[in-house]
Amino acid sequence: MNRWRVQRALLDKELHHNRGYFLVALVLLIYVPVLKSLYYLLQGGRMLHKWGEQLTYMLNFYQLPMGPPPLPQNSLHVIWLAAPILLGALLLGEERKGSLRYLVTTPVSRYDIVLSKFLFGSTDLLLAMAVNTVFLLSMSGALGLGVDATIILRWGLIMSLGLTALFTLALFTSTFTASVLPAAGLSFLLIYLPQALIAMLENMAARYFNASQSFSIKMLYLGDYLTITDYLTGEHWSIIQAVDHFPNWRMYATSGMLGSAPRLGMETIPLLLAIICLLGLAMAVFNRISLEEQGILFANTRTRLIFISLGGLLIAYLLAFPLCSTLLLYLFCMFVIIAFYLLLDYLSRRLKRSRTK
């Protein structure tokens, strides 16, 4: 069967079955830039002027000495996070026990299934951001935006790539999880996993190897650039001037100042690479994993063990690292904690099997 015809048929299926999710995600993403702006345009006066200032703050990724943002920043951040992650989790996870089992028995390859869902979801996100960008460009004068067209276009481009990266992460997560809720929950955790692991390595280097300030600052910058949500909020714009380490639960703190926007390539290229890598991983994992139900959270044993080990690693970092004065002691505590959680998993599965006999 022609590859294009396969994709067209799969996209038609997605539109037929998932158009509700498509519309909900679209409305969520245009709520602040378009729908609330229309409301304030009807209100006019001082409220419209204030709204224009808040939109300007948003378009500069919250990195201006002004505020508040269009919604309280945490609320707006939740909207930007929830829409692409839930869309990615729903598109694959919702069908895991239904039409997916039928699809994989047809001549359609698993690669095509994942690709069609990626194209469907990313089209939704890009359409929403196109609507937002065109609206803000056309209404910038009426809204009193204190930015030029290049700022709006930059915001639209980076937000489009950032939202698509979050969606692709959720799509990848749903390939090895058992249902929608685990996929969405683990996606939120995976967003911050690179930053947490890099912070752990940086703290270990500073405490046990007396790493320099320059090394610590570069590591923290790396953590920011590997965290997708930092592109949506401009966190990596900040200039880190110093990193202070503490021999207690606080571990470390940074001091710095607001910086200017990085070069466009420093933001778009990492996001594009993230999208490509996550899509490739999603295809590779989905091609090898079984759709037979094997657990409440994870689709197979290997994935469960990997995440138990990662969880044990992070718990050891949070609980044991502040108390361990030597690297050897910390590694020993880490090994004990990871082994403890793996043992708990083994015993719980043995108990479950004994009850089913």
Q: Cis link prior to 65 (omega < 30° from 0)? A: no
Residue type, 126: L
For residue 95, which of 117, 123, 121, 118 has the smallest C-alpha distance? 117
Tokens of 344: 């708990």
Please tell me the distance from the alpha carbon of residue 81 to that of residue 161, in angstroms, as a whole number: 13
Residues 72-82, mean pLDDT to the nearest whole number? 71
H-helix or E-strand spanning residue 218 = helix 213-225
- The pTM (predicted TM-score) of the whole model is 0.90
Specify whether the CB–CB gap between 136 and 145 falls below 8 A.
Answer: yes
pLDDT in tens, 182-209: 889 999 999 999 999 999 999 999 999 9
Q: What is the pLDDT of residue 64?
A: 64
Main-chain dihedrals φ then ψ at residue 4, nearest 5 degrees: -65, -40
Main-chain dihedrals φ then ψ at residue 240, nearest 5 degrees: -85, 120
For residue 308, which of 280, 349, 352 has the smallest C-alpha distance? 349
Answer whether residue 295 shows pLDDT above 80.
no
The CA-based angle 111-113-115, given to 5 degrees, is: 70
pLDDT in tens, 240-272: 888 888 877 677 888 887 777 788 899 999 999
Name the average pLDDT for the chain.
86
Please tell me the distance from the alpha carbon of residue 78 to that of residue 71, in angstroms, as a whole number: 10
Answer whether residue 70 shows pLDDT above 70.
no
